[in-house]
Amino acid sequence: MSPAKAADQHRSALLVMVLTLGLLIAAVVVTGGMIASSMRTRPVTLASPLHIYPVTHATPGQCPPGTQGITGQSAAGPTCYGLAQGIAIHKVADLRVQKSGARPGGYDVAVTLRPIDRDAFADLTRATVGRDLAFVVRNQLVTLPRVDMAITDGKVVVTGPPNKTAANKLVGQLKGK
């Protein structure tokens, strides 16, 4: 084989490799963009503000008039939950039902806060580790999760709905519907 023919074959092989590499890079970029866009969520505007209060104490029965608290249902019946200063959230980055990571076959409710609310929620959870938070919508106690640790990333997981139907109902209540 002549040196000129060998050089042409090398150039052709190099051109095929460059084109193949270019197509591969383009495929990765397009696929990555599609995956990233599918992972984006739309902010959820709540129909009514979600108020989150630290629970200071719980006593059996209805809350007396003028009490800084809310009446909710516990296993023992109506319970007055005393409340401290909390926060109000009007919009969240995401709110959805997800399969539980802790309970096989179970479901949780995942709430992702917007950056504007993350710091206030982080401060609130730092101060309430080991205690309950009251999630209140339209002056109704929706859920009463216990704070196991400070939540600083704005990703709240409410565990406990017994099934997917109950988890979907909780999402609707948190949305204010």
Q: What is the CATH number of the domain that holds 101?
A: 3.30.1360.200
Q: Are 92 and 111 in contact (CB under 8 A)?
A: yes
The pTM assigned to this predicted structure is 0.74
- pLDDT at residue 38 in the model: 40
Kind and range of the H or E run holding 8: helix 3-39
Q: Which two tokens stand for residue 166?
A: 């109950």
Domain identity same for 21 and 106: no
Domain identity same for 69 and 82: yes
Domain identity same for 23 and 88: no
Domain identity same for 91 and 104: yes
Domain identity same for 13 and 88: no
Domain identity same for 105 and 132: yes
Q: Residue 25's domain spans which residues? A: 1-40
In the numeric block, the tokens 């002056």 are attached to: 139
pLDDT in tens, 60-105: 999 999 889 999 988 889 999 999 999 999 999 999 999 988 888 8
% the chain with pLDDT above 70: 77
User: Total structural domains in the chain?
Assistant: 2
% the chain with pLDDT above 90: 64
- pLDDT at residue 145 in the model: 93
Q: Are 175 and 44 in contact (CB under 8 A)?
A: yes
Domain identity same for 18 and 94: no
pLDDT in tens, 121-143: 999 999 999 999 999 999 999 99
Domain identity same for 62 and 120: yes
